[in-house]
């Protein structure tokens, strides 16, 4: 069988930084001009990695973007650049509309489990300046040599400050001559005096005198920039490298995000969140950044954190959550913001109609969208919860709001094979001609997946075939 998909990268390369979310983006490109390709991504380490999307369809001669996320790790990988324990498998199979295959499948995953598949195996590699400096500090010539060979650009990606730091560490090793020669011969470049002066002048624009009080608090450079709302300095640190991890904790267990939120420094908080800061990190007293925003009555900060999937139900050491403190302080608008997020989505996803009605009666909106732009209606359609769907329709939910891939609730109900949901959505006015970003309509998906009854429902405008 000829290859069905082409992968943009030969392996999963993770630019590793300790205690930080790390991402790798791939493109799955179809090599089939006449039929779509189903895919499912599996990993040997599901406790460490997230995949978005984990499965789906690649339209003919089109492509799908795939993101691999490594959850924050508090330890250096046991082996690098190659990982000996982490692997990925992409299972693929063609859809043939004329094959006469069985007609009912719960999902793409179930469909693939019944078919012979063409599998693509991908290894995992941990790379980047952070691990290079670690290997140099350990005096491990072999690992340093492997990293340079594996990622030839790693030395050229270093800032002048990082390059100087690595070379200084290398000169203090027992095998310093061998290590220094290896780095210099591979292309490690130290800034000239003129370049150092230019860099120093540039840094002086956004740097500030060292205050011993910061060290006594356990603050990193990121903490200082965040607490004093120094957006230019924070941007420089995030772009050009930093000595401490993004979620470095001070002596009270607070991350830079905690301090930015506590001080109401919105731009700094946004920058940290976009760079991968842990939105649910807890300080020593168990409080999250969202708890602090709610306690301060900072509505805009609460909105930003909820949009980044911060959890309003996490409790501090006294059993109080961000939602609790907002209620206690009478911040009704913030209570609504938090309730329309995770709790509404959870009720819809779990089919908890009673809880959903309670939330909606208390002013929560049913059109909240998570980081994938899924609404509660999407979540209920995926799971096949008809009663939840009917409640959301009755309350005026937007039937045709798309997710970030352009799927409406009708698309997802079709993909899940939920004919009752499809019927209810169409009967209440869902657009049967809505297209995803890849141009897929509900009828195309139904025919592709072999759902004959759903195809007839769509053609007949929601009226079931007797």
Q: What is the pLDDT of residue 101?
A: 42
Distance CA 251, CA 36 (A): 54
Q: How far is CA 323 from CA 273, 304, 305, 315, in A?
A: 21, 15, 13, 9
Tell me which CATH homologous superfamily contains domain 214-336: Ankyrin repeat-containing domain (1.25.40.20)
CA 382 to CA 179: how far, in whole Å? 55
pLDDT band of residue 212 (cuts 50, 70, 90) is low
In whole angstroms, what is the distance from residue 424 CA to residue 408 CA?
A: 14
Tens-digit pLDDT profile for residues 16-65: 988 888 888 888 998 888 888 889 999 999 999 999 888 888 888 888 88
Percent of the chain with pLDDT over 90: 41
321: which strand partners? Answer: 315
pLDDT of 441 above 70:
yes
Higher pLDDT, 200 or 126: 126
Torsion from C-alpha of 51, 56, 61, 66, nearest 10 degrees: -10
d(CA 83, CA 68): 15
CATH 1.25.40.20 fits 366-459, yes or no: yes
421 contacts 384 by C-beta, under 8 angstroms: yes
pLDDT above 70 (res 201): no
Give per-residue pLDDT as tens, 62-99. 888 888 999 988 899 999 999 999 999 999 988 755 44
Q: Which of 210-224, 315-329, 336-350 has the highest mean pLDDT?
A: 315-329
Instruction: Answer for the pair 397, 364: CB distance below 8 angstroms, yes or no.
Output: no
Average pLDDT, rounded, for the chain: 84
Q: Is residue 235 predicted with pLDDT exceeding 80?
A: yes
Q: Of 58-72, 105-119, 260-274, 303-317, which one has max mean pLDDT?
A: 260-274
CA distances to 18, 55, 140, 181, 466 from 143, rounded to whole Å, are: 18, 35, 6, 15, 68
What is the per-residue pLDDT across 399-425, written as a single tens digit (0 to 9) for each? 999 999 999 999 999 999 999 999 999
Q: Report pLDDT for 357.
A: 85
CA gap 242, 235 in Å, rounded? 11
Read off the pLDDT band of 390 (50, 70, 90): very high
What would the mean pLDDT of 209-224 be, rounded to a whole number?
A: 73
The bridge status of strand 12-15 relative to strand 118-127 is parallel
CA distance 276 to 255: 12
| Non-local CB neighbours of 143 within 8 Å, separated by 6+ positions | 80, 81, 135
User: Per-residue pLDDT averaged across 311-339, rounded?
Assistant: 86
- pTM score of the predicted model: 0.46
Residues 6+ apart with CB under 8 A from 379: 345, 348, 349
Give the least confident one: 1-5, 239-243, 419-423: 239-243
Confidence at residue 92, expressed as pLDDT on a 0 to 100 scale: 92
Greatest mean pLDDT range, 70-84, 171-185, 304-318: 70-84
Compute CA distances 216 → 210, 213, 252, 326, 427, whole Å: 12, 5, 11, 32, 65
Query: Which has the closest alpha carbon to 38: 59, 68, 9, 19?
Result: 59
pLDDT at residue 301 tops 60: yes
Instruction: For residues 57 and 108, give the distance between their C-alpha atoms in angstroms, rounded to a whole number.
Output: 8
Instruction: Tell the CATH superfamily of the 5-124 domain.
Output: Immunoglobulins (2.60.40.10)
Count Cβ atoms within 10 A of the Cβ of residue 293 and give its class: 0-12 exposed, 13-18 middle, 19 or more buried: buried
User: What is the reported pLDDT for 190?
Assistant: 67
């Amino acid at each position: 069988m000829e290859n069905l998909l082409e992968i943009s990268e030969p392996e999963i390369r993770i630019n590793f930084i300790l205690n930080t979310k790390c991402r790798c983006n791939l493109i799955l490109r179809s090599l089939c001009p006449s039929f779509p390709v189903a895919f499912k991504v599996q990993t040997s380490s599901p406790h460490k990695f997230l995949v978005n999307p984990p499965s789906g369809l690649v339209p003919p001669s089109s492509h799908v973007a795939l993101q691999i996320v490594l959850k924050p790790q508090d330890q250096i990988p046991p082996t690098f650049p190659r990982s000996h324990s982490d692997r990925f498998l992409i299972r693929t199979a063609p859809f043939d509309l004329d094959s006469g295959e069985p007609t009912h499948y719960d999902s793409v995953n179930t469909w693939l489990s019944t078919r012979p598949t063409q599998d693509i195996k991908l290894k995992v590699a941990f790379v980047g300046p952070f691990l290079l400096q670690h290997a140099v500090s350990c005096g491990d010539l072999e690992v340093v040599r492997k990293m340079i060979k594996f990622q030839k650009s790693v030395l050229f990606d270093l800032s002048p400050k990082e390059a100087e730091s690595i070379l200084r560490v290398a000169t203090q090793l027992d095998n310093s001559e061998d290590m220094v020669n290896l780095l210099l011969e591979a292309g490690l470049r130290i800034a000239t005096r003129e370049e150092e002066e230019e860099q120093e002048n540039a840094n002086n624009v956004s740097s500030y005198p060292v205050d011993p009080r910061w060290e006594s608090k356990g603050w990193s450079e990121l903490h200082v920039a965040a607490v004093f709302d120094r957006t230019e300095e924070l941007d420089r640190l995030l772009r050009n490298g930093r000595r401490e991890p993004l979620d470095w904790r001070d002596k009270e267990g607070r991350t830079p995000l905690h301090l930015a939120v506590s001080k109401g420094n919105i731009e700094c908080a946004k920058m940290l969140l976009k760079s991968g800061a842990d939105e649910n990190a807890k300080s020593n007293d168990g409080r999250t950044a969202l708890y602090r925003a709610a306690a301060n009555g900072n509505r805009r900060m609460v909105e930003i954190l909820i949009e980044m999937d911060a959890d309003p139900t996490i409790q501090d050491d006294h059993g109080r959550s961000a939602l609790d403190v907002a209620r206690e302080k009478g911040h009704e608008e913030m209570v609504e913001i938090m309730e329309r997020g995770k709790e509404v989505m959870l009720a819809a996803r779990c089919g908890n109609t009673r809880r959903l009605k309670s939330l909606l009666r208390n002013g929560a909106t049913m059109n909240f969208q998570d980081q994938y732009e899924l609404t509660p209606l999407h979540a209920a359609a995926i799971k096949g919860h008809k009663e939840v769907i009917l409640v959301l329709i009755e309350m005026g939910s937007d039937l045709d709001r798309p997710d970030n891939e352009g799927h409406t609730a009708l698309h997802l109900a079709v993909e899940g094979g939920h004919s009752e949901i499809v019927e209810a959505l169409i009967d209440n006015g869902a657009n049967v001609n809505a297209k995803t970003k890849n141009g897929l309509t509900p009828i195309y998906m139904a025919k592709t997946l072999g759902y004959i009854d759903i195809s007839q429902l769509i053609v007949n405008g929601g009226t079931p075939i007797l």
